[in-house]
Amino acid sequence: MQKAAVAAITPPLLMALPANSSAPNRKLRHVAVGVGGMGWHDLNRFMAHEGVEVVAICDVDANHLKRAADALPNAATYSDWRELLKKEAGNFDSINVSVPDHNHFAIAFESIRMGKHVYCQKPMCHDVAEVRALTQAAAKKGIVSQLGTQHASGLGDRTAVQWIKEGHIGKIKHVYLCSNRPGATEAYRFKGPRPAQGEAPPTHLNWDLWVGTAPMREYAPAIYHPAKWRAWQDFGTGWSGDIGCHIFDAVWKGMGLEDPLSVIARVQDSWKASPERMLDTWPQSNHIKWTFPGNAMTAEKELPVEWFDGEFYPPEDVRALFSLEDYPAESAMLIGTEGALLIPHTKMPVLLPEAKFASVTAPVLEERDHYHHFVDACLGKTKTESHFAQSGPMTEAIILGTVALREPGTLLKWDAKKMKITNLPGAEKHLSRSYRKGWEVKGFR
């Protein structure tokens, strides 16, 4: 496990292209790892930037790869990201990592070691130790980084950040985060456990490469690939890991939060009562509470931040500040000494009570594309919105919540500097994992 603390990490100011650039005005040479699902969306956003040349693409699913290759006939194609990095090492400047969570770190870490700029889908990594190492590696190498929290570049989140900083609702007393998206439990959060016996994977899918760093599991249809892998501890980080980075981002950034002091989690009884499920799947309902050190923006010396999903909802009195019937299923609510701020996911924030703040107008902000902003930063024109120096510590806190989920009902006291759970050392086994033989990450541990 990585022991060093994240100390005084700051993002690079304006990063130019690597030293091997042939000309200052040439295009950013980009490669995409993972081009199905969200990866297909990511690829298309990068392709839409006139300053980008996609030189290589990679996917373990031949069907996904073919669709992308048809759109990019001049790009080299690979099924194994390791082969891509080796053969294309001198041919690209930046990479986007758009694969399941368990392989984020291996790809991003090796790319950073090579001095490449990295756009990585959220969450940054599967484990706390991986997040810490990736955050430090990006700072050490001085590369441009961006977490895939695309809504952080939207007008809604950026307005919320400004309103928080302007102090309209006074000192912050409590923060409530939630993601109670209709249908998500049934579609993505399986009860488990996995089938006792699997079957041969389809011919278009390289299952060994898909599993990558995780323990080898037999393939089974409709529960892993495509898009269903988040339910399993081997591959995903659960619902809070998936959506938490979106919901938390404006709060974290606006308030300037630092590492939590403690975390505790509550889960639904059926999951907690099943040893098989507790070892295999993530709970279908989570209630996580972090305690953060207070700062100049908080009402007290400590700030409670709570997360709710599945069958757990923010308290009625909190939701009633906006509307019990129309409370946004995915949102953040900050309770202050002078009012409240609701940040609906993907929408404009609302100051409450609305009559009190009727004279407050939204700031005039330029439209921004999260992907293009990363490209422009790689070209030396700006700084990224969700660089790892900012989004790394936030992700670390969120993934620490998944550690608490596996120790439900137990308050875990966190020493971030030492990366220690001081009152329950046995829980530290959840901070990192062992990689499958042959998939060890060079330079890590």
Query: pLDDT 10s per residue in the chain (445 long)?
Result: 444 444 445 555 454 455 344 445 689 999 999 999 999 999 999 999 999 999 999 999 999 999 999 999 999 999 999 999 999 999 999 999 999 999 999 999 999 999 999 999 999 999 999 999 999 999 999 999 999 999 999 999 999 999 999 999 999 999 999 999 988 888 888 988 888 899 999 999 999 999 999 999 999 999 999 999 999 999 999 999 999 999 999 999 999 999 999 999 999 999 999 999 999 999 999 999 999 999 999 999 999 999 999 999 999 999 999 999 999 999 999 999 999 999 999 999 999 999 999 999 999 999 999 999 999 999 999 999 999 999 999 999 999 999 999 999 999 999 999 999 999 999 999 999 999 999 999 999 8
Yes or no: say if 309 and 329 are a contact pair by the CB < 8 Å rule: no
Domains and CATH numbers, the chain: 28-152 (3.40.50.720), 155-199+207-364+387-430 (3.30.360.10)
pLDDT at 10: 54
- CA separation for the pair 213, 103 (Å, rounded): 6
Yes or no: say if 93 and 71 are a contact pair by the CB < 8 Å rule: no
Pairing outcome for strands 172-179 and 94-97? unpaired
Strands (E), 227-344: 262-267, 286-293, 302-309, 330-336, 340-344
Pairing outcome for strands 340-344 and 145-147? unpaired
Structure tokens at 159: 């307005």
Could you identify the residue written with the tokens 């409240």?
340
pLDDT at 26: 83
Helix H segments across 310-406?
A: 316-319, 370-378, 388-405
pLDDT at 9: 55
Q: What is the DSSP string of 65-125?
A: HHHHHHH-TTSEEES-HHHHHHHTTTT-SEEEE-S-GGGHHHHHHHHHHTT-EEEEPSSS-
Q: In this structure, what is the dihedral angle of CA atoms 222, 202, 233, 441, given to the nearest 10 degrees?
A: -160
Q: What is the DSSP string of 156-195?
A: HHHHHHHHHHHTTT-SEEEEEEEE--TTHHHHH-------
Pairing outcome for strands 52-58 and 28-33? parallel
Yes or no: say if 56 and 380 are a contact pair by the CB < 8 Å rule: no
Residue 8 CB partners (closer than 8 Å, separation 6+): none
**Model pTM?**
0.94
Yes or no: say if 144 and 108 are a contact pair by the CB < 8 Å rule: no
- CA separation for the pair 252, 30 (Å, rounded): 30
Classify residue 228 as left (phi > 0), alpha (psi -120 to 50) or beta: alpha
- CA separation for the pair 319, 132 (Å, rounded): 35
